[in-house]
Amino acid sequence: MDLNVPGLVETAGTGTAAEAADRLAAAIEGNEKLRLVARVDHGAGADSVGLELAPTIEVFFGNPALGTPLMQLAPTVGIDLPQKILITETDAGVQVFHNDPQYLAERHGIDPVTPQLGVIAGALQNLANVAAGVS
């Protein structure tokens, strides 16, 4: 799809959005540091009001040990927490999207070398790869 949206990281994958969301949820639930907060099926929401939308699922999760220090630096970053990964289904498979932590740092005035940002970036990409079925 390659939307080229500033601050958005995209990973191409295979299968369906539901399969990708299941892989992602299992990885989150299997990590004692992470907490699964919610799973929102945007496609089902659209269908419930008679609208069409490609299968699209958003998974919300967090790690308070990483998010809390960021909120201590800039409380406004809480608007972008917990972390989220969006999965949408296309003719070519699934696309997995997440925010780049450096984009969030810039948006909220957090020093870009704050250690938690690198940890979060690595974790998000690992989870995106799992969801996409490429890891």
CB atoms within 10 A of CB 84: 18
Residue 58 lies in a domain: yes
Query: Which of helix, strand or coil describes residue 134?
Result: coil
Encode 110-130: b = buried (16+ Cβ within 10 Å), e = exposed.
beeebebbeebbebbbebbbb
Residue-number span of the structural domain to which 13 is assigned: 8-132
Query: Which tokens belong to 24?
Result: 């992602």
Average pLDDT for the chain: 95
Residue 14 lies in a domain: yes
* Cα–Cα distance for residue pair 75/5, rounded to 1 Å: 24
Residue 1 lies in a domain: no
Domain count, the chain: 1
pTM beyond 0.85: the answer is: yes
What CATH number does residue 72 fall under? 3.30.310.70
Arithmetic mean of pLDDT, 29-43: 98
If we measure between CA atoms, which residue out of 90, 126, 124, 114 comes closest to residue 7? 124
Q: What are the strands, taking DSSP E only, across the chain?
A: 8-13, 35-41, 56-62, 83-90, 93-99
Q: Tell me, what's the pLDDT at 92?
A: 84
Residue 25 lies in a domain: yes
Peptide bond into 101 cis (omega under 30): no
Residue 2 lies in a domain: no
Residue 73 lies in a domain: yes
- Residue 121 in this model has a pLDDT that exceeds 80: yes
Residue 3 lies in a domain: no
Tens digit of each residue's pLDDT (9 = 90 or more) over 90-107: 988 999 999 999 999 999
- Residue 3 in this model has a pLDDT that exceeds 80: no
Tens digit of each residue's pLDDT (9 = 90 or more) over 49-74: 999 999 999 999 999 999 999 999 99
Q: Tell me, what's the pLDDT at 6?
A: 85
